[in-house]
Chain A
Amino acid sequence: MARTEEEVSTATQRGGADDADRLATDFGKPEPEPARKRRAPFFVQFYRSDIGKKWVMAVTGIVLMGYVFAHMVGNLHVFEGPRQIDNYGEWLRNLLDPPFPRTMALWLLRVTIIVALALHIHAAYALTRVNWRARPQRYKSQRDYVAANFASRTMRWTGIIVGLFLVFHILDLTWGTANPGYVRGEVYRNTVATFERVPVALAYIAACIALGIHLFHGGWSLFQSVGWNNPRFNPWRRYFAVGFAVVVTAGYISVPIAVQVGLVS
């Protein structure tokens, strides 16, 4: 069945051994071109990926952390007595005025927070669904976790607690609907009025602890998510998360406790 060498080499000519283009096109299978099709705007494109969402969570998380910290510090004015904290509230509203009109800056701040929170929650929701789909059938035997801690495993729940708290909190101290003794602008009075109610005080404390737990993991996790990883500072990422969580939580709950024990009244 074997052919002579001549026949074979003439046969090989058929493929166009001397026809460079043919040769090229016939050579194996061409690499697929990197997709040139019009893609969605950059951010949307990026946000579609899970790692993109994680990045967004981290960044919005940082914004929220910034707010939570500043707010916590602000709250501490309570200890300086009614005038200071009310002035502080007033000062917030007059922030950057001029040039901005009154409460403008505050609103900008609010918008940022709302947007950040919205994105954060949406990403959290989307990723949670991805992860539940990734293991539809749970393990039938008891898992024995080594590295995953309580905080990391309850991010969704602590998050939701904080979220629900926020709703109540706004109704309570910003709009006053959930606060009988509410008087617009009288931050001190409102605060005391709220925390004199034991269950509310407890609810606040619980929520702030939940937030602390959320940040205990989140404050570390965000570094991984955005890829801030370097042997030089890796240990510090954990210290930072712990420190931040503790300070914020302690700072917040100090207020309801103070009211309850009558330090602030």
Chain B
Amino acid sequence: MIGELDARIPEGPLADKWDNHRFHEKLVAPANRRRFDVIVVGTGLAGAAAAATLGELGYRVKVFTFHDSPRRAHSIAAQGGINAAKNYKNDGDSIDRLFYDTIKGGDYRSREANVYRLAQISVEIIDQCVAQGVPFAREYGGLLDTRSFGGAQVSRTFYARGQTGQQLLLGAYQALARQLHLGTVELHDRTELLDVVLKDGHAVGIVTRDLVTGEMRSHSAHAVVLATGGYGNAFYLSTNAKNSNVTAIWRAHRRGALMANPCFTQIHPTCIPASDEFQSKLTLMSESLRNDGRIWVPKQMDDPRSPDQIPESERDYFLERRYPAFGNLVPRDVASRAAKREVDSGRGVGPLKNGVYLDFSEAMGRLGHDDIEEKYGNLFQMYDRITGEDPYVVPMRIYPAVHYTMGGLWVDYNLMSNVPGLYVLGEANFSDHGANRLGASALMQGLADGYFVLPNTITDYLAGLLGDPPVPVTDPAFTTVEREVDERVRTLLAVNGSRSVDWFHRELGKVLWDNCGMERSADSLKKALGEIPPLRQEFHADVRVLGENETFNQSLEKAGRVADFLEFSELMCLDALQREESCGGHFRVEHQTEEGEALRDDDDFSYVAAWEFAGVDEKPALHKEELAFEAVELAQRSYK
């Protein structure tokens, strides 16, 4: 049973906390680093950056990924860009402003100290990436170019065409490759973490399955770092890569790590609507499109006419109408809900009436075809490829989709979970984005955690272990977990029921999207909580997983992941039900202003909800970390 949650926030004024902290921490001398084994799970921005940096410092690192190569991690899909408070554009940006924007964007549900540190480090990230050879967009003078992104009033987003995530990941991957070459880091690809091992309450290792041979293996270390990404795929349809999953953090949660704010999921307004029931994932269209595109629906219900047949007077530019000041650039959650409202009211467009128009005709007139092509060429091409429609001629159809998950494992200022020795980085932790993430801030956080935070904070824990060898994998702590994992896999294969894994995943996705999606209510959440457990039981009674463990078996991989989603999503709904307020991505219909704006309840809910696992079908225990705001005073968001 866990007592008071201690976030270990350093003393001193906000701006000095990080420096003070680094000064007061215990260090590990270069000569001693060789004596420490560190396991890093995940090779996305956070994982690759951490593994590479720890290797550079001289630790013995083992890094794991279920991908066939570190550079395939989901981070690679990030398009838009990465924020940094460089103020190169001299437009009034500063560390304080990035800090403030992030806190405000997160609807005052994140930790001041962490966010401020993130803003401070953002500056070093760009330096680091440029030195590595990330080909950021440039001005003609050779200086770095930036753009304003996702409603920010300053131009602080650095980008590399529409492939920023790819270029940043390649940078981190190359740094990792260098360490692999030097032998400081050992890579295990096509290897999936299936459980975390604790001894005397400390994280001492992991149990993995080799996806090619099915071999179960234990790996021991002084500390375990999880950088395994977000859980958006619980909804089945999302913008996340197909294989992104919750297994790693859920397994850690089951072993005692607290899960924080699982209900905070971000819906992205500009995705391509599903085209049919076979749709396997949703594709994101970069938010930058909203800078020039105008969003509208026909005023008339179920308007059968093609967009060009609909005269100006019969179009409803609902964002510009509702939010004159910000218009089409209102934050993601606001834009998303507005679109949902239109579609639900029967004004949806497209074959399945499941989208709204994003129209560039006005911008084409203003800037001309070439400027538009220069700015959005690759995005338009991508859209055309997927839908077979040419956005230069026909307005795009867009609809919101699950995109990012702010929730994750609870961590303290050191990014260590409540389980000593278990660190969590990137999207997998809950730390910096509160109830809603600003565009271009996830890449920033992943790299901040990996390059700069963890390598500086992990020493505080490791120093205490100096001289202790890692727990041998023959220790019962490992062998028992190994047996459990093996058991779990065999049972999945033994069921041999009648329904495919994907069928269950789709069902779960529908339940979550309808009841715990863009809008949630006590009723819908109770409904979901009533539907998920039976679905889970049916899964374990009737799922069909063919083949055996000893071969490359993708159904088996999926089955394990969906099984964990089925347990996790219940907690997600529970958390949403518990949070009797609307904030950021979490919108409770019971709690809104008369204009339909999210209505926060700072007196009762300005805390982090950290859940403790009590067993499947058992009610988890809720721990609250109260959020203290010293630097900013809480204000109701308004984008009118």
A and B touch in the complex (CB under 8 A): yes
Within 8 A of B (CB), among A1-36: 1-3, 5, 8-9, 11-17, 22-23, 26-29, 31-32
Given known contacts A1-B464, A8-B464, A28 and B31 CB-to-CB distance under 8 angstroms = no
Question: Contacts of A1 on B, CB cut-off 8 Å?
Answer: 200, 202, 464-465, 468
- Which stretch (B50-58, B425-433, B444-452) binds chain A? B50-58
Contact yes or no, B183 A26, CB < 8 A? no
Instruction: Give the CA-CA distance A120 to B58 in the complex, in Å.
Output: 49
Q: B30 contacts the other chain (Cβ, under 8 Å)? A: yes
Question: Contacts of A22 on B, CB cut-off 8 Å?
Answer: 31
Instruction: Give the CA-CA distance A29 to B57 in the complex, in Å.
Output: 9
Task: Tell me the minimal C-beta distance from A197 to chain B in angstroms.
Answer: 61
Instruction: Give the CA-CA distance A229 to B68 in the complex, in Å.
Output: 35
Within 8 A of A (CB), among B39-77: 55-58
- Which stretch (B21-29, B153-161, B568-576, B615-623) binds chain A? B21-29
Q: Which of A12, A23, A26, A27 contacts B27 (CB 8 A)?
A: A12
Tell me the nearest residue of chain B to A17, going by C-beta. Answer: B29
Task: Tell me the minimal C-beta distance from A114 to chain B in angstroms.
Answer: 45
Q: B463 contacts the other chain (Cβ, under 8 Å)? A: yes
Contact yes or no, B32 A11, CB < 8 A? yes
Produce 1/0 per residue, B181-220, CB < 8 A to A: 0111000000000000000101000000000000000000
Interface size on B, residues (CB 8 A): 24
Contact yes or no, B464 A26, CB < 8 A? no
Question: Contacts of A12 on B, CB cut-off 8 Å?
Answer: 27-29, 31-32, 463
Tell me the nearest residue of chain B to A27, going by C-beta. Answer: B30
Tell me the nearest residue of chain A to B33, going by C-beta. Answer: A28
Contact yes or no, B56 A28, CB < 8 A? yes
Task: Tell me the minimal C-beta distance from B420 to chain A in angstroms.
Answer: 9
Instruction: Give the CA-CA distance A16 to B29 in the complex, in Å.
Output: 9
Contact yes or no, A28 B184, CB < 8 A? yes
Q: B466 contacts the other chain (Cβ, under 8 Å)? A: yes
Q: B351 contacts the other chain (Cβ, under 8 Å)? A: no
Contact yes or no, B184 A8, CB < 8 A? no
Tell me the nearest residue of chain A to B200, going by C-beta. Answer: A1
Task: Tell me the minimal C-beta distance from B166 to chain A in angstroms.
Answer: 25
Task: Tell me the minimal C-beta distance from B89 to chain A in angstroms.
Answer: 33
Instruction: Give the CA-CA distance A107 to B56 in the complex, in Å.
Output: 62
Contact yes or no, A31 B31, CB < 8 A? no
Task: Tell me the minimal C-beta distance from B186 to chain A in angstroms.
Answer: 12
Contact yes or no, A3 B183, CB < 8 A? no
Contact yes or no, B58 A27, CB < 8 A? yes
Tell me the nearest residue of chain A to B463, going by C-beta. Answer: A8
Instruction: Give the CA-CA distance A23 to B31 in the complex, in Å.
Output: 6
Task: Tell me the minimal C-beta distance from A1 to chain B in angstroms.
Answer: 7
Contact yes or no, A23 B464, CB < 8 A? no
Instruction: Give the CA-CA distance A3 to B200 in the complex, in Å.
Output: 16
Question: Contacts of A15 on B, CB cut-off 8 Å?
Answer: 29-32
Task: Tell me the minimal C-beta distance from A186 to chain B in angstroms.
Answer: 68
Q: B624 contacts the other chain (Cβ, under 8 Å)? A: no
Contact yes or no, B466 A11, CB < 8 A? yes
Q: B467 contacts the other chain (Cβ, under 8 Å)? A: yes
Contact yes or no, B56 A9, CB < 8 A? no
Given known contacts A1-B464, A8-B463, A28 and B58 CB-to-CB distance under 8 angstroms = yes
Q: B34 contacts the other chain (Cβ, under 8 Å)? A: yes
Instruction: Give the CA-CA distance A31 to B181 in the complex, in Å.
Output: 9
Task: Tell me the minimal C-beta distance from B47 to chain A in angstroms.
Answer: 19
Q: Which of A5, A13, A26 contacts B34 (CB 8 A)?
A: A26
Contact yes or no, A29 B30, CB < 8 A? no
- From B30, B183, B465, B467, residue with most partner A Cβ within 10 Å: B30
Q: List 27 A-B contacts (CB under 8 A).
A: A1-B202, A1-B464, A1-B468, A2-B464, A3-B464, A3-B466, A8-B466, A9-B27, A11-B29, A12-B27, A12-B29, A12-B32, A13-B29, A14-B29, A14-B32, A15-B30, A23-B30, A26-B30, A26-B31, A26-B58, A27-B30, A28-B58, A28-B182, A28-B184, A29-B182, A29-B183, A29-B184
Interface residues of B (CB under 8 A from A): 26-34, 55-58, 182-184, 200, 202, 463-468
> Lowest 6 A-B CB distances belong to which pairs?
A15-B31, A12-B29, A2-B464, A28-B58, A26-B31, A15-B29
Q: A12-B29, A14-B29, A29-B183 are in contact. List 14 more A-B contacts (CB 8 A).
A: A1-B200, A2-B464, A2-B465, A8-B26, A8-B463, A11-B467, A12-B28, A12-B463, A14-B31, A15-B32, A17-B31, A23-B30, A27-B58, A28-B58
